[in-house]
Amino acid sequence: MAEKNFAVVAHLPAAVEITKRTSQNSLTIEIKDGSKKIGTLVVGRGTVEWWPESNKINAHRGNWYQFAEVMATLSQKRSTRKPN
pLDDT (tens digit, 9 = 90+) per residue, 40-56?
A: 988 887 888 999 988 77
pLDDT (tens digit, 9 = 90+) per residue, 14-73?
A: 665 655 555 566 788 889 888 888 999 888 878 889 999 887 788 889 998 998 898 888
What's the predicted TM-score (pTM) here? 0.65
Is 81 or 40 the better-scoring residue by pLDDT? 40
The domain segmentation of the chain, as residue ranges, is 6-77
Is 46 or 76 the better-scoring residue by pLDDT? 46
What DSSP assignment string belongs to 20-34?
STT----EEEEEEET
Report how far residue 39's alpha carbon sits from residue 20's, in angstroms, rounded to the nearest whole number: 26
